[in-house]
Amino acid sequence: MKKYITTPIYYVNDIPHIGHAYTTVAADVLSRFYRLKEEDVFFLTGTDEHGTKVAGAAESLGKSAKDFCDEISFEFVKEWKNLDIKYDRFIRTTDAGHIKCVKTVLKELYDRKQIYKGIYEGLYCTGCEKFLAESDLVEGVCPHHKKKPEKYSEENYFFKLSLYKDKLIKILSDKNDPDYMEVKPDERKNEIIGKLKLGLDDISISRSKVEWGVPLIFDESQTTYVWIDALINYISAIGCKSSSGFNKWWPADCHLMAKDILWFHAVIWPAVLMAIGISPPKKLFAHGFFTLNGQKMSKSLKNMIRPSELTGKFGVDATRYLLLSLFPFGIDGDISWDALTKKYNADLANNIGNLLARTIAMVEKYFDGKTPSPGGENKFSILDKIMEFDTYMKNLEFHLAINVVQSAADASNKYIEETAPWVLFKKNDPKLANVLYGLLESIGIITIHFQVFMPNASEKMWASLGAKKSLMTASEEFFDGKIDFLLPGSKISKSPPLFPRI
Ligand code: MSP
């Protein structure tokens, strides 16, 4: 089956911080999981480059908007490479193909009489790139950017969003609707439905004073509202409406984002799609925010942590792991260096690192560094511990998926204490071979599961087992129900500690 997985496309007004990395690592982990399950995956990420916010950032540095976008977009590409993100496409809204698709979609909306001209008057927050109602403000300022929105009045084109209110409520709540769009977590879906029930206004989808954008094909004096431009990336990236790529990949299987932009994805995006005869995405997942001392991490609050600060301290694999293991994916989580370090030491240095180091050291000492033969007795197994892994991954409950693997490592460490291989060795007990074989096999199974989170460290763990098959082949076989990757007699190898204690 195909799986089309996306992240939001990030504004290039600033270089990536760990909030951006959070969604992107999650999408990468999910994509790797489905690839491991031999699904056909298309993983899309990219940058959102038009609009007032980006143009303003370029201007303040005395750079042309395009040069500035090229520079910052490249920072995202570099950061994702550094974090081992394996996307299939990195889209930029300044790509010619994307611009063409935006024009096509807007023209079609216009031709289908879904657009009309009107006067917009209201409040606009450039930080959010969106209109705010008085009721959205907290003490007169935008709650996300802590800035007073600007008064705004101009002639714009409007999209008849209000026409879709009932249909949207239906596709959000009725599982039997052919266009059913799953929104997770449920509380967020319910918030959206509640808000929809209060009423839905048409929205302005163009700007007369913003030059850095895609001109409307039916009125070149206006450019496309940056959010409409941006949402269209999800179809422009696969070839736009009616192309073979579109036919293959659409509808998207999972749009990932944080809760701040769920309304755009759960209301505006499906309405635009339905207005041009395209089905909505199948699933949206809105995760929580990383906060620092209770505040959302963002440029305007100047409290960002950069991914390199984490990778510098913990390494790339552990950073990916820590981002997804600290909190449930759906809720906010306050980050602190102390909590990150504790989690790293407990899970990676102590539990996993220790299991590997002890097992390898014992095989070296008792079996001359060669994988022993399993022998006839019942072998140790962690399979019952790890059974729920798939379900948790499919539900994007990454921290629970991680927990079951940790509990398997925990059980393996306890098994070492219980069987006391050093005593078996002294007694020349033949059970020793079976115990160590079981432990090596457990490490292999733990590695098979952890590779989606920690691809490089997993390859290293795998290499030390001296297995007869590659990690990929063994994984495919494992998920088909076969465990056969160790080779009695083959040399295991000691590697420098993968997760040195901090
Ligand atoms: N450009 C729009 C998205 C258009 S998608 C069609 C945008 N860009 S953004 O740069 O502001 O990125 C927002 C996204 O970045 C969030 O939805 C989330 O995925 C991620 N995060 C940004 N800050 C974050 C945190 N502090 N915590 C968690 N995720 C964060 O909105």
Residue type, 117: K
Helix axes 18-36, 307-314, angle to 10 degrees: 60
Report d(CA 64, CA 197) in Å as an integer. Answer: 44
Compute the average pLDDT of residues 447-460: 97
Q: With 90 as the cut, is the pLDDT of residue 443 above it?
A: yes
Q: Residue ranges of the alpha helices (H) in 207-329?
A: 226-231, 233-236, 244-249, 262-263, 269-275, 307-314, 316-325
Q: With 70 as the cut, is the pLDDT of residue 377 above it?
A: no
Report d(CA 412, CA 380) in Å as an integer. Answer: 8
Q: Residue ranges of the alpha helices (H) in 42-164?
A: 52-60, 65-82, 96-111
Q: Which whole-number Å values give the CA distances from 70 to 59, 65, 298, 495, in the listed order?
A: 14, 9, 21, 41
> How many Å from the N-terminal Cα to the C-terminal Cα in the chain?
42
Report d(CA 197, CA 114) in Å as an integer. Answer: 21
Closest approach atom of ligand 1 to CA 259:
17
Q: Whose C-alpha lies nearest to ligand 1, atom 22? A: 19
pLDDT score, position 147: 86
Q: With 80 as the cut, is the pLDDT of residue 400 above it?
A: yes
Report d(CA 398, CA 58) in Å as an integer. Answer: 37
Report d(CA 264, CA 231) in Å as an integer. Answer: 8
Compute the average pLDDT of residues 396-405: 97
> In terms of C-beta distances under 8 Å and separation of at least 24 residues, what long-range contacts does 205-209 make, across chains too?
205/106, 205/109, 205/115, 205/156, 205/157, 205/158, 205/159, 206/156, 206/157, 207/154, 207/156, 208/154, 208/155, 208/156, 209/154
pLDDT score, position 394: 97
9 lines ligand 1 (CB under 6 A): yes
Tell me, yes or no, if 17 is annotated catalytic.
yes
Structure tokens at 441: 């096999």
Q: For 65-69, 96-100, 128-132, which range has the lowest pLDDT when averaged over its residues?
A: 128-132
Tell me, yes or no, if 98 is annotated catalytic.
no
Q: Are 306 and 19 in contact (CB under 8 A)?
A: no
Report d(CA 324, CA 398) in Å as an integer. Answer: 6
Tell me, yes or no, if 125 is annotated catalytic.
yes
Q: With 90 as the cut, is the pLDDT of residue 422 above it?
A: yes
258 lines ligand 1 (CB under 6 A): yes
323 lines ligand 1 (CB under 6 A): no
Q: Whose C-alpha lies nearest to ligand 1, atom 20? A: 20
User: Which residues is 223 bridged to in the sheet?
Assistant: 207, 215
CA angle 451/344/44 to nearest 5° reads 40
pLDDT category, 304, cuts 50, 70, 90?
confident
Q: Are 267 and 192 in contact (CB under 8 A)?
A: yes
Contacts (Cβ under 8 Å, ≥6 apart) of 247: none
What is the rounded average pLDDT for all residues in the chain? 94
Q: Are 156 and 208 in contact (CB under 8 A)?
A: yes
Q: Are 28 and 316 in contact (CB under 8 A)?
A: no
Compute the average pLDDT of residues 216-233: 96
Full 3-state SS string of 135-148: HHCECCECCCCCCC
User: Which residues is 125 bridged to in the sheet?
Assistant: 130
Q: Which of 38, 46, 40 is nearest to 16 (CA)?
A: 46
pLDDT score, position 121: 84
Cα 500 vs. chain centroid, distance in angstroms?
27
Report d(CA 354, CA 413) in Å as an integer. Answer: 8
Residue type, 281: P
Taking 3-state DSSP, the helix, strand and coil percentages for the chain, each rounded to the nearest 5, stand at: 50, 15, 35
Q: With 90 as the cut, is the pLDDT of residue 130 above it?
A: no
**358 exposure class (CB count in 10 Å sphere: 0-12, 13-18, 19+):** middle
151-203 pLDDT, tens per residue? 888 899 999 999 999 999 999 999 999 999 999 999 999 999 999 999 999 99
Instruction: Report CA(376)–ligand 1 centroid distance (Å).
Output: 55
Compute the average pLDDT of residues 224-246: 97
Structure tokens at 398: 């990454």
Instruction: Report CA(346)–ligand 1 centroid distance (Å).
Output: 30
224 phi and psi, to 5 degrees? -70, 135
Q: Are 18 and 307 in contact (CB under 8 A)?
A: yes
Which of 18, 126, 233, 261 to probe ligand 1 with, by most ligand atoms within 8 A of CB? Answer: 261
Report d(CA 314, CA 321) in Å as an integer. Answer: 10
pLDDT score, position 205: 95
Q: With 70 as the cut, is the pLDDT of residue 238 above it?
A: yes
Which of 6, 7, 22, 292 to probe ligand 1 with, by most ligand atoms within 8 A of CB? Answer: 22
Q: Whose C-alpha lies nearest to ligand 1, atom 2? A: 10
Cα 64 vs. chain centroid, distance in angstroms?
31
Report d(CA 18, CA 24) in Å as an integer. Answer: 9
Q: Which of 399, 403, 438 is nearest to 418 (CA)?
A: 438
Closest approach atom of ligand 1 to CA 48:
1
What's the alpha-carbon Rg for the chain, to the nearest Å?
A: 26
pLDDT score, position 293: 73
Q: With 80 as the cut, is the pLDDT of residue 307 above it?
A: yes
346-360 pLDDT, tens per residue? 999 999 999 999 999
Q: Are 109 and 149 in contact (CB under 8 A)?
A: no
Report d(CA 258, CA 188) in Å as an integer. Answer: 11
51-97 pLDDT, tens per residue? 998 999 999 999 999 999 999 999 999 999 999 999 999 999 999 99
